[in-house]
Structure 1
Amino acid sequence: MGVERGRERTKDLVTGAQVLSGQLGKTIQRLRKAYNLSLSELAEQSGVAKSIISQIERNETNPTLATIWRLSQALDVSIERVLATGDEEPFIEKSSRADTPILVSDDGRMRLAIIGWIKTVEWLQWYDLSADPGGVLDSDAHQRGSVECLSVTEGEFEVDVAGAVQRARAGETLRYRCDRPHTVRCISEGAGRAFMVVIMKAAVME
């Protein structure tokens, strides 16, 4: 009975992958961009050929279940979420801690949990940022006109945008252009916590 159920579940997932191939490509691409991964980097992490990933994102192929599994593992999401369709998603969606990707700064002292909706990643991103004292997050310039908002809930942070420096404590928010290199530092003696929202292409600011 267990074997039969396993076969039925596999059959359902394979059928779902074929039916949802159009949505699948968009989902893989959004997840990849959320992690700031190039096609080559995702190929290296997943073991799936770069050309295959490119075809999947352009909806030019129906990937096998094994391929989808490798990509979901590399992108740190469940295979069910990868196969989920936008048309049939529930109005209320819950993401578990295990399904929340975590980005870590180069110094290992800042962690950004990606709590934003994956479907908005190309124009709106938001993160739950936690930092150890002295943690530094260096970021390259985003798209022109992009704005970043840092709302501090614990500790104190400093933001440096092209030499312009401003600080914020718990209860305060910094908004700044992020279409140029910028740095966020935790300057409090204890741990720091903040919510970071990035509005991509918000406006072309002269």
Structure 2
Amino acid sequence: MQRTAPPIAHIAAALRRERERAGVSLTELARRAGVAKSTLSQLESGTGNPSVETLWSLAVALGVPFSRLVEPPTPAVRVVRAGEGARIPSEQADFAGILLSAGSLHARRDLYLMEMEPGAERHAEAHIPGSVEHLVVARGRLRTGPADDPVDLEPGDYIAFAGDQPHVYGALEPGTLAVLVMEHPR
């Protein structure tokens, strides 16, 4: 299954737009997000290869949903075929998120397909305050939830937990696949 790379040009434009909207300098945003200024500069210039952790840190520092940094504008009807979509890998684990649908200004939710393999867990930092994660396991087995109290899930199992607290994802079987709805406060 071949996935496309993240839309670097869109990420660059979105980072500049959101940083300017927030009224913060490149240096200040880098400090708030805990990333190197050179990394942020490369991302805003359309070079570099951002990880999901870097983009989440920047989104939290900007107070915006992750999807606002990675989702290009969508047409009225949008189809994402299996094997397509921008695949954003983790630095920590064999984990990738594929944004399927970003919420609009009126519906603050994002829809992701998550691919995971056993091995290292992905430890996610807190997202913007009031975020809630809703997850359904489609294939395989998964350990997820609050970092201090994760839950083992099987196909068809659903979990909801506060996304504004540290949390974890870890595949327990090869080929684990889950659908995640990230709910953001207005």
Q: Which residue of 2 aligns with 1:114?
A: 99
Aligned residues: 137
- C-alpha separation in 2, matches of 1:144 and 1:127: 19
Structure 2: gaps spanning 5 or more residues: 1-9, 19-28, 31-36, 47-68
Which one of the candidate residues 115, 121, 140 is aligned to 1:155?
Answer: 140
Q: Which residue of 2 aligns with 1:69?
A: none
Larger radius of gyration: 1
State the 1:76 CA deviation: 8.3
SS of structure 2 residue aligned to 1:28 = helix
Q: Does residue 183 of structure 2 align to residue 199 of structure 1?
A: yes
Q: Relative to 1, partners in 2 of residues 1:135 and 1:144: Cα closer, same or farther, differing over 3 Å?
A: same
Q: Which residue of 1 aligns with 2:158?
A: 173
Q: Aligned-residue CA RMSD in angstroms?
A: 3.7
SS of structure 2 residue aligned to 1:115 = strand
Structure 1: gaps spanning 5 or more residues: 1-24, 49-74
Contact 1:31 1:118 in 2 (8 A): no
Q: Which residue of 1 aligns with 2:66?
A: none
- C-alpha separation in 2, matches of 1:119 and 1:30: 18
Q: Relative to 1, partners in 2 of residues 1:45 and 1:179: Cα closer, same or farther, differing over 3 Å?
A: closer
The two structures have a TM-score, normalised by structure 1, of 0.53
Residue identity in the other structure for 1:140: E
Deviating runs (4+, > 4 A) in structure 1? 30-33, 38-42, 95-99
Higher relative contact order, chain-length normalized (CA < 8 Å, sep 6+) = 2
State the 1:133 CA deviation: 1.7
State the 1:44 CA deviation: 1.0
The two structures have a TM-score, normalised by structure 2, of 0.58
- C-alpha separation in 2, matches of 1:168 and 1:98: 24
Q: Which residue of 2 aligns with 1:15?
A: none
Which one of the candidate residues 138, 144, 162 is aligned to 2:123?
Answer: 138
